[in-house]
C-alpha cells in the first residue's frame, strides 16, 4: 500500500486553456443568467433611483464566470 500524503506535490500544475466545451457552457449559463440580471438591475435602479455601477450584461457575465469553472472542477 502506498502513502501518497507524504509525497504530495505542493505546487499545482498549470491547467490547460479553456476548450470549446467550456465556451459552450459559458454561453448557455450567460444566456440563462441574463434575464434574471436584467430584472435585478431594473429593481435596484428603481429602488435607488439611480443606475447601478454594473449593468445587466456585466452582472450576467460575472455570474457566468463564477458558475462555469465550478462545473468543470467537479
Taking phi over 0 as left and psi of -120 to 50 as alpha, with beta for the rest, 13 belongs to beta
Geometric angle at alpha carbon 34, from 33 and 38, rounded to 5°: 120
Grid coordinates belonging to 4: 501518497
How many residues does this entry show for the chain? 74
Q: Which residues of the chain have pLDDT under 50?
A: none
> Are 45 and 51 contacting, i.e. CB atoms less than 8 angstroms apart?
yes
pLDDT at site 19: 86
- Report the pLDDT value the prediction gives residue 73, as an integer from 0 to 100: 82
Amino acid at each position: 500500500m502506498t502513502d501518497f500524503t507524504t509525497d504530495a506535490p505542493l505546487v499545482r500544475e498549470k491547467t490547460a486553456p479553456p476548450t470549446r466545451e467550456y465556451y459552450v457552457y459559458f454561453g448557455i449559463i450567460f444566456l440563462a443568467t441574463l434575464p434574471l440580471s436584467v430584472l435585478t438591475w431594473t429593481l435596484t435602479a428603481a429602488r435607488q433611483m439611480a443606475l447601478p455601477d454594473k449593468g445587466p450584461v456585466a452582472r450576467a457575465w460575472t455570474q457566468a464566470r463564477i458558475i462555469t469553472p465550478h462545473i468543470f472542477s467537479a
